[in-house]
Amino acid sequence: MKDIRIFLQDELIAEFEKMGEPKFRAKQIYEWLWKKSARSFDEMTNLSKDLRKNLQEKFVIAPVVEHVVQKSKDGTVKLGIQLQDGRMIEGVMIPDRERSTACVSSQVGCSLSCSFCATGFLKRERNLTAGEIYDQVVMLNKHALAHSGKQLTNIVYMGMGEPLLNYENVMRSIRLITSPDGLNMAQKRITVSTAGIAKAIIRLSDEGMKFNLALSLHAATDEKRDRIMDINLANNLETVFEALNYFYEKTGNKITFEYILFDHFNDTPEDADALIQLYNKVPAFINIIEYNNVEGVTLKRAKAERRDEFVRYLGKRGVEVKVRRSRGKDIDAACGQLANKSEAGEIK
């Protein structure tokens, strides 16, 4: 049976027309599914019993299940989420003074195998559906409300997987999250983070949408980037930066460069100079990210003094730069640490 949540509103209306049901019924059901997050047809109390039975015979609602909840000392919450087929993913809620950010996964595992990333060690099993991405946001929103009494303010597609390799479902999920029939969040509150797939960046620039784009840069020359991110072999910096400029032209949104500082790998003044050269190629901000050492990875977190020196060096040269402190380290919820350990029983 088909998952009813794969349909956009217009598609659902067309399905209902085929069933001889009026358009407004499809709209009612759409509202139950997305606005009210109904998890069974029985909850849809303004539908007749016959229609509910009919729907049950034709469709399923395939919800995800909150399987493990881990809370960090700093308030960060990591969820181990079980999908209908039993596979697991992780989503994270990061509270900060005025903000609560949801970091969502877009794939089960990841095919890109960046050398520093725990998710890259898991093989990519499948793409998430738009509904599964949406459900993570709904769940993480509940935790944001429980923590601070306030809704999520931001969503970043920076969890497990490369969002642009699950292009259709990621775009569909953004449309649902920002739709008045869904969560009605502003597009500017959403950031999609990519390892750098030039063709897909060009495609999304033409979507007429206004969300933000982040590039997981982590090294500022092809020579170094090739060593830690295989994706750079097929999408070198020149190609990616052409695509980023196109994105900026189309959206007017500055690009965020995510740059994890690794000890004695990319933290010297020469590295900072190479980074400044890239910074001057497209309107951008730089986020310097603290790495959390991952077992089996030779790259290590840069020392605090080297990090501070690196940031000062950039700042003095007029670069807009911020250090993103690591959050949720004690529960392996920080950047690059999502690896379904809770599923493996390593964390309870």
For the question of residue 335 being annotated catalytic, the response is yes
CA atoms within 13 A on the CB side of 136: 34
Q: Does 110 bind ligand SF4 (CB under 6 A)?
A: yes
Cβ-based nearer residue to ligand SF4, 83 or 110: 110
- The secondary structure of the chain in percent helix, strand, coil, rounded to multiples of 5, reads 40, 20, 40
Which residue of 79, 94, 117, 140 would you call a contact of ligand SF4, by CB under 6 A? Answer: 117
Which residue of 101, 119, 136, 340 would you call a contact of ligand SF4, by CB under 6 A? Answer: 119
Q: Does 161 bind ligand SF4 (CB under 6 A)?
A: yes
Cβ-based nearer residue to ligand SF4, 106 or 154: 106
**Region of 66-74, 156-164, 298-306, 319-327 interacting with ligand SF4 (CB under 6 A):** 156-164
Q: Does 343 bind ligand SF4 (CB under 6 A)?
A: no
Q: Are 25 and 31 in contact (CB under 8 A)?
A: no
Cβ-based nearer residue to ligand SF4, 90 or 267: 90
For the question of residue 90 being annotated catalytic, the response is yes
Quick one: tokens of 348? Answer: 């309870």
Quick one: tokens of 126? Answer: 């499948």
Encoded one letter per residue, x for contact with ligand SF4 by CB under 6 A and - for no contact, window 21-60 reads ----------------------------------------
CB of 208 to ligand SF4, least distance (A): 26
Which residue of 63, 91, 95, 120 would you call a contact of ligand SF4, by CB under 6 A? Answer: 120
Task: Tell me the C-alpha to C-alpha distance, in Å, between residue 59 and each of 15, 47, 62, 127.
Answer: 11, 15, 9, 21
Q: Does 196 bind ligand SF4 (CB under 6 A)?
A: no
Which residue of 132, 162, 267, 290 would you call a contact of ligand SF4, by CB under 6 A? Answer: 162
Cβ-based nearer residue to ligand SF4, 139 or 289: 289
Q: Does 114 bind ligand SF4 (CB under 6 A)?
A: yes
Catalytic residue among 103, 132, 335, 343: 335
Task: Tell me the C-alpha to C-alpha distance, in Å, between residue 148 and each of 103, 144, 191.
Answer: 17, 6, 22
**Region of 2-10, 110-118, 278-286, 340-348 interacting with ligand SF4 (CB under 6 A):** 110-118
One-character DSSP codes across 124-190: P-EEPPHHHHHHHHHHHHHHHHHHHSS---EEEE-SSS-GGGGHHHHHHHHHHHHSTTTT---GGGE
Question: E-strand spans in the chain?
Answer: 2-3, 59-60, 65-71, 77-82, 88-95, 100-103, 107-108, 126-127, 154-157, 190-194, 212-216, 255-261, 284-290, 321-324
Q: Does 212 bind ligand SF4 (CB under 6 A)?
A: no
Q: Are 103 and 92 in contact (CB under 8 A)?
A: yes
Interhelix angle 167-178/198-205, nearest 10 degrees? 30
Size of residue set near ligand SF4 by CB under 6 A: 12
Catalytic residues: 90, 335
List of residues contacting ligand SF4 (CB under 6 A): 110, 112-114, 117, 119-120, 160-162, 195, 216
